[in-house]
Every structure is written in C-alpha cells, then in structure tokens.
Structure 1
Amino acid sequence: MNALNLAVIVVYLVVVAWIGLRLSGKQKSSSDYFVGEGRMPWWTVCFSVVATETSVLTVISVPGGAYTDQGFGNVELAFGYIIGRTVVAIVLIPLYKRGGFVSAYQYLEVRFGRYLQGVASVTFVGTRLLAEGVRLFASAIPIKLLLSEFGLNVGYNVIIVVLTVITVVYTYLGGIKAVIWTDALQMGLYLVGAIIAISVLTGHVGASGWSQAFDAGKFKLLDTDFGLGHVLTSTFALPTAVIGGAIFAMASHGSDQLIVQRILATRTLRESQKAMIGSGIFIAIQFAAFSLVGALLWSYNGGKSAKELGLTSADSLYPNFILHGLPVVISGLLVAGILGAAMGSLSSALNSMANSTVADIIRSFSRRGLDDDAMLRLARVMTLVWAVLMALFAMGFSSTAGNVYLTALTIAGYTYGALLGAFLLGRLIKRANQFDAVVAFIVTVLVMTFVVRVVKVDVEVAGKMVQKGIAAQWLVPIGVLVTLLVGGISSLLHPAPRPASEPARVVA
C-alpha cells in the first residue's frame, strides 16, 4: 500500500513539472517570462492567485481550527477579503493594465520616481525571502510526518531541496505561464481532495454527525463579541474580519508584487478584474470546504481532542485522516495535493521576486539600457539565485522554527501598510513628491516595527487578564494612516508642483 501511495506522489511530481513546461512553451521575451505577454485566461490566473496565497499550513490548519474553536471563522474573514479585492479591481488594477506594467512598483516610478520604486521593491523581496523561506521550512514539517507514515525517514533539508529543485525546473524554464498553469492544477487537486474527504466523512457520520457538529458550534460563522480588546486582538472578531480584512486584502492583493504579477498576465482589464474578484470568491469556497472537513472530523472522532487521539496538535488531524481514513492511492493523491500547495506558493514567490529584482531594481538603476534578451537572461539567473537563497534560508530554521515562523507570519504588518500607503499617497495627495513618499515609507516601517513588537492590549481570557498583540488585519490600516499623515505633512513643507500645462516662471 505504501508503495502505491509513493508511486502516486512521484508520478504527480513528474507530471506537474511536465505540464508546466508543456503548457508554457518556450519563453522568447522578458514580457512573456514575467506576465505571459498578457495572454493568460482569467480563470487560470484566478486559480493561480488562490494557490499562491494557500500554503501547506493553510490546508491543514483550517480544518484544525474548525475542529477546535474557530468554527467557520475563516469564511467570515473571506468576506472582508472579497470586499478588499473588489476595491483593488476598481481602483488599482486599471492603473497597472493601462500603464502596460510588468510590476506593481513601476507605477511608483511613474508617479514619484525610481528611488521609491527601488525602496518598495527591496522591501518586497526582503519580506518575501523571510516569509517564503520560513513557509518553505514549515511546509517540510507535515510533509516529513506524512512521508514517515509511508516508511520513509526523510530529513527536513532533503525535503526542502527536492521541493525547490522540482519547482525551480519549471519556474526557470517556463516563467509565469508555467507557474500559473501548475498553480491551477495544484489548487484543483487539493480542493478536490477536500471534497473527497467531506464525502468519505459524511458516509461515516451521516446526517446525525452534521447535526452534532452544528450543535457543538463547529459551524459558527460570525464572531459577534464587540469588546474593544477582543476586536483589536482577535482575527475573527466581526469588525476585524470584515473591515480589517478588507484593508489587509487591499495591501496584499493591490501592492504586493506576488499577487499583482499574476493579475497583469490576463488579456484585458476586465479579465484582470474578474480574476481578482473571483479569487476572493474561491478563497471563501476553499475556506468553507476545509472548515467543513474540520467540523465533520470532530463528529468522526467523537469530539476527542488531538491529544486524546495521540496527536501533537489540531494541525495533525486532517493529515492523520488522509493517511488512515482514506483508501490507498487516494491518500497518496491527497498527500501529493499537500506537496502541490507547497510548490505553488514557492514557484509564485520565485517568479515574482525575479520579476521585481530585474524590472524594479536592475533595469531602473542600470546606467546603460538593457535589451529584452538581457532582461530575460537576468530573470532566469535571479530565479536561480532566489531559489538557492530561499532553500538555504529555510534550512537554517531547523532549531528555531517555532518563534521565527510566528515572526514571518506577522512580517506583513511591518511593510504592507507602507506599501499600500505609498500607492494611496500617490492617488490621494497630488502635491506629494518622491521625497515625501520615501520619508513616509521609512517612517511607517519604523512605527509599525514598534507597534508589532511593543504594543500590547490587555484582554480577558478565561477570567484572567493577558496581553496580546494587535491583530494583523489592523496593522495595515494603521500603517496606511501613518504613511498618509507623514507624507501629507511633508508635502505641505514645499511648494505644490505646477500643472503640466503651466509654463515655468522665468526669474530675472
């Protein structure tokens, strides 16, 4: 049985790489490598966006959260995401598509200048290296456990290297087309896996199992505790999920090159907007499917805790069911789906980091112009460079993964507010120039570092007062406000720029 499951996994990895290269074709230009020359179908881009933001830990932790105390809170969070993505589709995507950009930060160059573009790009690649490197290592943890069940005692570093090598093959050669097509395939696989799990679980627990889970609050959708401390610190408090989640999505999907690059690969503005809004709807469907898996697992296990089942945490519940509750071959296919989630986020990060490095840093600051062939060669070289750095970065966390992983999860709080704020500063404050924007950006990152690391809120939990950090969804609006405030004040300290039609005044 283990041999069959392993065969399924190996075949899947080979097929994914082959499909990615087959569908992408030979890349002949940097535009083709970065945005598929703007010819990708909107639905594949939509699926790619969903796969890009879905990691291995999302696949296993959403069922675990629903099993314990979160219920369908992630679906509530998706409501805010849909609102935020709709705003991005209406306000920001037209700027990118009409400008013919291959990077979101090219807008900042046009509006402010290359120095802000460079600062934003360096911030992006630095954030991605930290977040994706730690995510890669964190992905190796459940994969190691799954493979050990198949009789393979594989080390974390080996898993990291294998995932990186397979992913970089089609990412290096196929560019964004290979990334998007394989992302779509991988998203389909792990979502189908969730549907299979729901069907099997329903067969075990029947209608009574659904009823028991509902009565136990496993289908709870809205968190209506409006206490100030709870709202400020809880991801699933209704205002945090909807309002904070909407603004967070505006930053993550409107100013983060990781997502924007995929959107720019569509044929038309309308298709870009459909892909962006559609990704929010599919995220809600995905969260609902995985939450339902968790609720039915609760009935399947008779409400026992993870420890009572001999598991280390709630995150082990879904992988444990895949291995022991599903037929052979199907379980291997679902493990392959978990591998696919890791590869999808990794390939997207590598391609977008190479894109931003070449388009926003090397090209903008090169003293001599770069032709398209040079851009394409550099893009492939930087894909390899970032792959090596990310793998080395991930392998460095073998003894400190816990704390560093939590840091990586909150890293967006340091930078997302400054990134989104820079775009909004350019749109809302016409007199702001590059100096204002760079100062506001740097000040915001410093202020948010203080907020993330120092500011705590007293919250009552189980009758005791504990200190918690501010929920990630509120960090972005705080950062945006700081950027607009600092940039706005700075812009008042110099004369407003003259309209383009107004001639310069000659001084005798």
Structure 2
Amino acid sequence: MEFSYVDYIIILGYLLGVAWLGVRIAGRQSNTSDYFLGGHDIPWWAVLFSVVATETSTLTFISVPAVAYGGNLTFLQITLGYIVGRIFVSTLFLPAYFEGNLTTAYQFLQERFGDSMRNAASTTFMVTRLLADGVRLFATAIPLAIILRLGGAFTGWSDVEVYLLSIAVISVITLVYTLIGGIKAVVWMDVMQMVVYVGGAIFAGVIMVMDLPNGLSGAMELAAQTNKLQLVDFGFGQAFADFIAQPYTFFTALIGGAVFSVASHGTDQLIVQRLLTTRNLKDSQKALIGSGIVVALQFGLFLFIGLLLYSFYDAQTAQQLGLATTDEIFAKFIVEQLPVGMSGLIVASLFAAAMSSLSSSLNSLASSTTFDLYKPYFGKQNTPAEDLRISRIFTTVWAVILTGSAFFFAYLQLQAGERPAVVELGLGIASYTYGGLLGAFLLGRLFSKPNTKDALIGFFVGLLSLLFMVKGPLQELLPGEGLAIAWPLYTVAGSFIVLVAGKVSQWVRSR
C-alpha cells in the first residue's frame, strides 16, 4: 500500500494548521514575561502535558515499540526513577525558584555563587541542547524518511535529501509559531500535539488488535511464552564492570533515572521554564509530579504496541521482514496496514512529537541567552519592547543553529553508512552535562560554606572526569581496561564528583 493523495493533504493541512493555530492561541506579547513565562498564568494541567510532550520525540513513537519487540518491558524500570526524581525536585528545587521569583534556572546559581557560575552553567546548557537536540532533530527524520519511502514517496531522492527536507520542514513550521507566539504557543500546541500523537498510537493499536488472528489474549500468551512480559531485572550475578554497564537493571534504572530526572527537571531550563509559567508553587509541583506518572503510562502504551507488533508479525525478525532494524517495524505497519487517511494522520503525529520538542528547545534557549548572557551585560537599560525584539532575534538564531546541527549529524551518520542508537546517543549527551549542572545546584542548595571558586572547580572536575568513564577516544589512552558506565549513571557519577571536588576545594581553602 502506498500513501494516497488524502494522506499527503492531511499532512500538509496539519503542518499549516499548527502554525496558524499556534499564533492565534498565544495572542500578543508585550514583554519578555509574556513571551517566556506566559505571564505566570498557564494552568498546571496544560504545563503537565507540555512537559511530557517536550520529553517525547518521534523516537519514542518509533523506537520504544521496537524495544519491546526485540526485548521485554524492563525499560519501564527507569520510569520509576523518573517519578522519584520529580518528587525530589518538587520539594527541594521548585520552592527556591518561586521564592526567588526567577526567570531562568541559572539565576539561582548567580545568587549563590555569582556571575561566573551562572555563565558556566548557562553556557553548558546551551551546548548540551545544541548537541542533544541536533541528534533529536536528526532522529526525527529517520522514521519520517522510512515511512515516506515505504509509502512510495521521494523514491528518486537520496537518503541525505529526504532527511534534510524533513528537518527543514519541521524547523520552519516550528519557528513560525514559536517566534510569534512565545511560550503560550509552545505550551498549548504541546497539549494539542500530545493528543494527536497519543491518539494516533492508540488508533494504530486498536487496528492491530482487530487484525490479530488470535486476538489480544493470543498476543499476550505469545509475549508470556517468550519472556517479553518481564518488568524487573536485578542483574545480579554479573561482574561489577558488566553490572554498571547495563542501563536497564533495576537499581541502575531506579537510581540513574531518579538522578537524571532531578537534573533534567531541576536544572535544565528546557523544563524549568515550563514549571515557572504556572500560577504558584503548588500548581508547579502538581504539573511536575503528574508528568512523571503520565510519562510512565506513555512508555507503557508504546511498549504494549511493541508486544502487539510481535504477535502481528508472528515473531519474525527485522531481517525476515525485509527491514534493516526493528526500529522500522512500526513504520512498516503504519504504511501497509492502516486505512487511507490514517497513515497520513500518524505521520502528522510524528511531526507533532518532533515540533513539540523543538519548539520547547527554541524558547528555552532564547530565554537563557536573553536573561543569562545578554541582559546582564548589554541590555540593562532596555525597554520591555526592546527586550522582546531581542528575544525573537535569539529565537530565530537558535532555530538556524539547531537546524545546522541536525544537518551535521545527518550528514555524518549517513556518510558512515550506519545508524547509531540515537535514543541513547541523545540521552547520553544530556546525561553527561547534567552531572555537572546538578552537582553545582546541590552544592549551593545543601551546603553554605562552598564559594564561587569551589563551585567552579567542582563543576569542571565533574565534567572532565566523566570523559574517562564514557566509551570514547580518551578511554583508549588509558592503560588497561577502562571503566565504562551505562548512560543512566553519567549524571549520578558526575554530580557526585562535583560535590566531592567542591567540598574538598572548600576544605583545602579553609585550612
């Protein structure tokens, strides 16, 4: 089955509709408080869904079902850590943000350690987002290119051309409503786009169940027989080096997921900005903790679809189905099995997931650039209208930079002739720098004696130390076997080293 004209009309109509609706919903902004914080008047439930949509990319839609298809349900263990981490952030970090009436997460570091620490943290955030979101935006093009090609479109195009087209379309449409509508447009379009992509996934699952030869019970029976319903894996009995290299054993997932969530939702402007748009601290806490529960349910939904696919395709491997990897299996079902019009809606939902992530990055990067790096040094005398104009310029600049980063990753990966584990690559990049950020926040929040010098020493020692714990060029320079840790532990190790190095610096200084 190929895409029909109806499918393409649906996709085009959706993209144009998103841009128009995003601008209409947001209304007019008169200052940066409206543009970046929505006037502190966005309902908590809308922020909840926006946080979830921000964390969700097209890879969640495509790759998480593939995780269950090729493995089991142990991936869900990490979501328990996500919930624990959010509870910690809601009690330790959010009160400090609201008490200080802050506009970015890094203003707390300025008040505690001074301008240099704020600048270091803000710059690290920007570099992290540049790399991680470049990977994420490139990853968006993978399932879109697969689906469009399986559907018979762009058959004369090269892989690079199809990928660059997908990236460019997503970037331009997202920039339009983010540039004009600000955070209100971002949040409300996140809500709508989450409804679209979750609804699309549920519809695909219903169609699948209806077409299963032995129904839902048969699918679950097959999953049980092949041990795909396993939820918990403690990983005991392995050597220590092997144990800490496995990302989805229970304690690694729980501790790593919790610490990662503390860093991503407590120190990353991408998420913190959303939480600061609520009306008060209580609303912010409800949005944050509730998002952890919804993320767990969402992962459960996509893993369940993977189990249904396993039964639908009679446990065949990707190679037996004529596919390169299991990541292409859900895409194959979408193109070949869904009725006319619904395939187009599913592809539109993939664009929805991609645009919700990208719009959040653009707005948070622009806000951090404006408030952390521009205004304290160059814009102290600006009027609200001038600040708003500068903010929109930064939004546009970051859109160009992120698109270029995605083009760069697409070129490198396609030239290499192989596809990376892009989900883990993106999360690994974020996890790597989160360790330094979280350690600096905890050093300032939990201890009163460390000063700016101690915080900076701890911050950079933490970042440098991780280079020797992650598989890469530096490990090859070390004698013997390097200690490679799983990506959920990057943040754990990094933040711990920052705390220790900062306290040691303070102890040496006070001697």
Provide the TM-score with structure 1 as the length reference: 0.92
1:481 maps to 2:496: yes
Say if 1:448 and 1:142 are closer, same or farther in 2 by CA, change over 3 A. same
Provide the rounded CA distance (Å) in 2 between the counterparts of 1:193 and 1:386: 30
CA distances 1:36-70 after superposition (whole Å, capped 9, x unpaired): 1111111111111111111111211100010011x
1:327 maps to 2:327: no
The structural deviation recorded for 1:467 is 8.5
The structural deviation recorded for 1:456 is 7.6
* SS of residue in 1 equivalent to 2:467: helix
1:422 maps to 2:437: no
Which residue of structure 1 aligns with residue 484 of structure 2?
A: 469
Provide the rounded CA distance (Å) in 2 between the counterparts of 1:180 and 1:186: 10
* SS of residue in 1 equivalent to 2:382: coil
Which residue of structure 2 aligns with residue 140 of structure 1?
A: 141
Residue range with higher mean Cα deviation, 212-221 or 418-427: 212-221
The structural deviation recorded for 1:404 is 9.7
2:186 to 179, 189, 198: 179
Which residue of structure 2 aligns with residue 4 of structure 1?
A: 6
* SS of residue in 2 equivalent to 1:451: coil
Provide the rounded CA distance (Å) in 2 between the counterparts of 1:157 and 1:484: 42
Alignment of 1:188-207 (within 5 A): 188-205=195-212, 206=215, 207=217
CA distances 1:284-326 after superposition (whole Å, capped 9, x unpaired): 0000000000001101111101110111111111111111111
1:439 maps to 2:440: no
* SS of residue in 2 equivalent to 1:400: helix
1:413/1:448 contact within 8 Å kept: no
Provide the rounded CA distance (Å) in 1 between the counterparts of 2:210 and 2:26: 40
1:35/1:264 contact within 8 Å kept: yes
Alignment of 1:214-225 (within 5 A): 214-225=224-235
Query: Would you identify which runs of 4 or more consecutive aligned residues in structure 1 move more than 6 Å?
Result: none
Residue range with higher mean Cα deviation, 78-87 or 398-407: 398-407
2:245/2:485 contact within 8 Å kept: yes
Say if 1:475 and 1:336 are closer, same or farther in 2 by CA, change over 3 A. same
The structural deviation recorded for 1:148 is 2.4
In the alignment, residue 64 of structure 1 is paired with which amino acid?
A: A
Provide the rounded CA distance (Å) in 1 between the counterparts of 2:293 and 2:85: 12
CA distances 1:87-118 after superposition (whole Å, capped 9, x unpaired): 11111011112211111001111111111101
Which residue of structure 2 aligns with residue 504 of structure 1?
A: none
1:104/1:260 contact within 8 Å kept: yes
Say if 1:196 and 1:18 are closer, same or farther in 2 by CA, change over 3 A. same
Provide the rounded CA distance (Å) in 2 between the counterparts of 1:313 and 1:347: 29
2:468/2:475 contact within 8 Å kept: no
Which residue of structure 2 aligns with residue 505 of structure 1?
A: none
Measured on the aligned residues, the alpha-carbon RMSD in Å equals 2.0
Provide the rounded CA distance (Å) in 1 between the counterparts of 2:469 and 2:444: 25
1:113/1:434 contact within 8 Å kept: yes
Which residue of structure 2 aligns with residue 36 of structure 1?
A: 38
The structural deviation recorded for 1:31 is 0.8
Provide the TM-score with structure 2 as the length reference: 0.91
The structural deviation recorded for 1:195 is 1.4
Which residue of structure 2 aligns with residue 90 of structure 1?
A: 91
2:37/2:273 contact within 8 Å kept: yes
1:410 maps to 2:428: yes
Which residue of structure 2 aligns with residue 165 of structure 1?
A: 172
Say if 1:115 and 1:369 are closer, same or farther in 2 by CA, change over 3 A. farther
1:456/1:470 contact within 8 Å kept: no
CA distances 1:244-294 after superposition (whole Å, capped 9, x unpaired): 211111111111111111111111111100110111101100000000000
Which residue of structure 2 aligns with residue 131 of structure 1?
A: 132
In the alignment, residue 76 of structure 1 is paired with which amino acid?
A: Q
In the alignment, residue 133 of structure 2 is paired with which amino acid?
A: E
Gaps spanning 5+ residues in structure 1: where? 458-465, 497-508
Provide the rounded CA distance (Å) in 2 between the counterparts of 1:211 and 1:403: 33
Which residue of structure 2 aligns with residue 59 of structure 1?
A: 61
1:253/1:259 contact within 8 Å kept: yes
Which residue of structure 2 aligns with residue 298 of structure 1?
A: 310
Gaps spanning 5+ residues in structure 2: where? 414-418
Say if 1:400 and 1:380 are closer, same or farther in 2 by CA, change over 3 A. same
Provide the rounded CA distance (Å) in 1 between the counterparts of 2:428 and 2:222: 35
CA distances 1:116-138 after superposition (whole Å, capped 9, x unpaired): 10110000011111111122112
In the alignment, residue 488 of structure 1 is paired with which amino acid?
A: K
Sequence identity of aligned pairs in percent? 43
1:68 maps to 2:109: no
1:356 to 363, 368, 371: 368
Which residue of structure 2 aligns with residue 506 of structure 1?
A: none
1:492 maps to 2:499: no
In the alignment, residue 4 of structure 2 is paired with which amino acid?
A: N
In the alignment, residue 54 of structure 2 is paired with which amino acid?
A: T
